[in-house]
Amino acid sequence: MSCTRVEKVEHPNRILSYVKLEWKNLLIISVTGIIYNVGMTAGPYYEGLLAQKLLDIFNGSSTAASMFSLAITYIIVIIGVQLSRALKRFFVRRFANDTSRNMRHMLYNSLVNMTPEELQNEGLGSVMTKAVSDVDACVEGIRKFITEIFDTGVVMIAYLAMLIGYDWKLALLSCAFTPLAYLIANFLKGLIARASAAYKESASRLNSATMDRVTNAITYRVNGVEKNRDQAYETHLSDYEQKAVSANIFEASMQPIYNVIAMAGTVLILYFGARNVMGTGWTSWNIAAFTTFLSCFTKLSTKSSHAAKLFNAVQKAQVSWARIQPLLKEYQSTDQNSSLDLDTPSDLSMDDVNVTWPNGTEVLEHVSFHAKPGEIIGITGPVACGKSALGKLLIDETHYSGSVKIGGHEFNFLNPYEKSRLVSYMGHEPQLMSDSIRENVCLGESIDPLPYLDEVRLKEEVLDMPQGVDTPAGSAGVQLSGGQQARTALARTLAHAGDVLVLDDPFSAVDPKTEDIIMNHLEEIRNDHIILLISHRLRHFPEFNQVLFLEDGKVTVSYHEQLMKNSPDYQDLYHRQTEGGDLDAAH
């Protein structure tokens, strides 16, 4: 399925939107479903005829040849009915697969466009449960509902019409028990909903505990607290097992009860049906009629119990839908379309910009500066002064008022693709994937990672690894050292460099010699880029075109020599590092 198709979901938070998208499959399901389920009445009908034919043969009023002819006709009809059933099931499954894909695509699109704060509040375990099991439960509920419309609804009407045609009084009397199964199912729906909701929440907690146990395994082992974490995990696992049993016990245990209740009318058929055959009942039957009526009722009762079970399945699906519905938002297109000239280096300007966190807390005010391609802008200041917040403004993780323009275009008006092409970002955390070093640099593109690894002085180290560039980085880069993680992330940023490179503390995990080498490479590529280098380490700040010094929510835009004359705080920060040799004094 293409992304274009997914974008046509008009209202992602409405189930009907996903159903409408599959109208072609539903049309085929409807036609084949009606043929199959109406054709199901052929079974009881021909079974009755065969029973009567067998009796006639014993009585000498019919021949084996006519029995064989009737059996062949029955087989041909059943083959046609079963072919319709196979087609219906194929397109039902296709409908379910397509719906699952559409729903997951919309959910994943919403998740990747959530802010880190929203994802943190949602919780990783909850996101995993919703993205996998809740979507599965929703789609399964829709599939069962659509299937039962035909496999239960249509065929029940056909069976009931057939029963009434043979003896309407006995039909109504024997079917009187069926509504009782539905009443019990309706009574249990509240219990099922609560048990299912508790089960989903427990699954979310278990997923979170699992991810925590795997991700932080080394930390727990080094600090000797594995036993404590194992006990905590076992508590979550035990709770999950109990909730899982509670969530399924009603549905699993009630099915036999539904069957018994629905089949209770069989006793009445045996009594009153026998009277009909003997000529003392409400109507006159032969063996064929009795056999057909009993077979038809048995199949009707089985379908009735399935319908009662369907109520429980739909109720569980409603619980899952309620969990994922708030996350299903309007699709945010990732089409690579732009009317901008993305091949020409762009300048960057900020005019009276106020920076705030998503919760509204103001970080910086009245930020104004202009940078041209080829310039390196150093950004520094005390701890928690807003350096990272200023950098995150260009990846939409902080908000701003005022004007931010790249290439003369207001940043807020650019689409996601344009922003990704114009701005490249490396943050505090390397955010490496559980994949090879090659994939962490290339991100699926057909490029050679070695030149970029060389630019960050990591090429030789990688080539000395057992699998070279195909060496796994491990979960979140755990197989690499801190410095290797940071340099891999920097190599990735350089491999996908936009017009503006935001590098947040790229030298925090490297030694001064490596820092010098990396800076030399940045100098070589600066002509086509603007580099915003956020750092506590000021050794190279005298070489930068501009310096933004942040303090107490204010931003001083100048250059190194001027700040050394006019800013005692900047002067003190620089001297403590260069004269004392403590490159990370500001930390």
Q: What confidence tens digit (pLDDT) does each residue in 199-257 have?
A: 878 887 887 777 777 667 777 777 777 777 778 878 888 888 888 877 776 656 566 66
Please state which of the ranges 93-97, 174-178, 360-364, 502-506 shows the lowest mean pLDDT.
174-178
478 secondary structure, DSSP code: T
- Which tokens in the block code for residue 159? 């069976």
Considering the domain architecture, whether residues 295 and 376 belong to the same structural domain is answered as: no
Question: For residue 583, is it within any domain?
Answer: no
Give the Cα separation of 224 and 219 in Å (integer).
9
pLDDT of residue 4: 41
We report the CATH number of the domain holding residue 27 as 1.20.1560.10
C-alpha dihedral over 393, 399, 403, 407, to 10 degrees? 40
297 contacts 269 by C-beta, under 8 angstroms: yes
Question: Which of 277, 292, 327 lies at the terminal end of a domain, its last residue?
Answer: 327
* Average pLDDT value for residue range 328-333: 72
pLDDT band at 308 (very low <50, low <70, confident <90, very high): low
Domain count, the chain: 2
Q: Is the pLDDT of residue 587 over 50?
A: no
Considering the domain architecture, whether residues 235 and 356 belong to the same structural domain is answered as: no
Considering the domain architecture, whether residues 472 and 534 belong to the same structural domain is answered as: yes
Average pLDDT, the chain: 81
Considering the domain architecture, whether residues 87 and 202 belong to the same structural domain is answered as: yes
Considering the domain architecture, whether residues 169 and 236 belong to the same structural domain is answered as: yes
Please state which of the ranges 323-337, 403-417, 539-553 shows the lowest mean pLDDT.
323-337
Considering the domain architecture, whether residues 366 and 471 belong to the same structural domain is answered as: yes
Considering the domain architecture, whether residues 71 and 139 belong to the same structural domain is answered as: yes
Considering the domain architecture, whether residues 248 and 386 belong to the same structural domain is answered as: no
pTM of the shown model: 0.61
Question: For residue 332, is it within any domain?
Answer: no
We report the CATH number of the domain holding residue 452 as 3.40.50.300
Give the Cα separation of 405 and 418 in Å (integer).
13
pLDDT of residue 463: 93
Q: Is the pLDDT of residue 406 over 90?
A: yes
In this structure, the number of other CB atoms found within 10 A of the CB of residue 75 comes to: 11
pLDDT band at 6 (very low <50, low <70, confident <90, very high): very low
Question: Which of 296, 327, 358 lies at the terminal end of a domain, its last residue?
Answer: 327
Residue 529 region, left (φ>0) first, then alpha (ψ -120 to 50), else beta? beta
pLDDT band at 380 (very low <50, low <70, confident <90, very high): very high
Question: Which of 327, 360, 385 lies at the terminal end of a domain, its last residue?
Answer: 327
Domain of 319, in residue numbers? 3-327
Question: For residue 370, is it within any domain?
Answer: yes
Question: For residue 127, is it within any domain?
Answer: yes
Question: For residue 314, is it within any domain?
Answer: yes
pLDDT of residue 258: 67
pLDDT of 524-575, one tens digit each? Answer: 888 889 999 999 889 899 999 999 999 989 999 999 999 999 999 999 888 8
pLDDT of residue 450: 93
Question: For residue 425, is it within any domain?
Answer: yes
Considering the domain architecture, whether residues 379 and 245 belong to the same structural domain is answered as: no
Question: For residue 232, is it within any domain?
Answer: yes
Considering the domain architecture, whether residues 318 and 372 belong to the same structural domain is answered as: no
pLDDT of 441-471, one tens digit each? Answer: 998 888 999 999 998 888 999 999 989 999 9
| Residue with tokens 């008006």, as numbered in its chain | 413
Considering the domain architecture, whether residues 116 and 71 belong to the same structural domain is answered as: yes
pLDDT band at 1 (very low <50, low <70, confident <90, very high): very low
Considering the domain architecture, whether residues 287 and 209 belong to the same structural domain is answered as: yes
Question: For residue 333, is it within any domain?
Answer: no
* Average pLDDT value for residue range 69-96: 87
